[in-house]
Amino acid sequence: MHNIEVKNKIKILCEFFSYKITYENDILRIFNPKNEISIKQTNKNQYLIIYNTNNSYDEIEVYENEVFDALINIIYRIDLEKIELNEFETITLEILKEFEYSDKHKLEDTLEKIIKQNIENKNIGGNRILHKYYKGYLILMDDLNGCLKSNVIKL
């Protein structure tokens, strides 16, 4: 059975990137014309992700904090090559503030304005960490060199 919070974040990613999603026998299947991805929770904090490659399928076992990094890497790959997870820590709001905002309150101010204006989809930008607001969630991706793990955070 999937952690409901992780499942909801996966649904948000699918919607944001225009992927279809189905749920069959405890397996989430997300797909578009290019990618086919299956996600199954194997333990409390671990997931098995199976995805298509050029000639077959590959599978990786990831911890909960790596699910979104793996999915975003699969979504953004140019060809159907195997992916590698980013090596360092998962992007948090604190890391986002540290890398992108000299004024630590500017992020909160920006998000507050977006929420008050009922904006559903906003590309906020970023030099090192791309951050996009979508329906109450922040989608965070390391744009510079792919060292930090991508993340989805509910606000």
In a domain? residue 63:
yes
12 in the same domain as 68: yes
144 in the same domain as 101: yes
Q: Mean pLDDT across the stretch 27-33? A: 96
99 in the same domain as 71: no
E strands in the chain:
20-24, 27-31, 36-43, 46-52, 57-63, 121-125, 129-134, 137-142, 151-154
Separation of alpha carbons 74 and 94, rounded Å: 25
105 in the same domain as 130: yes
pTM score, whole prediction? 0.89
Range of the domain at 98: 93-154
Instruction: Show which of 46, 76, 106 is a domain's final residue.
Output: 76
User: pLDDT tens across 95-135, in order?
Assistant: 888 888 877 788 888 888 888 887 888 888 777 888 899 99
Determine the pLDDT at residue 125: 76
* Other C-beta atoms lying within 10 Å of the C-beta of residue 151: 26
Number of structural domains found in the chain: 2
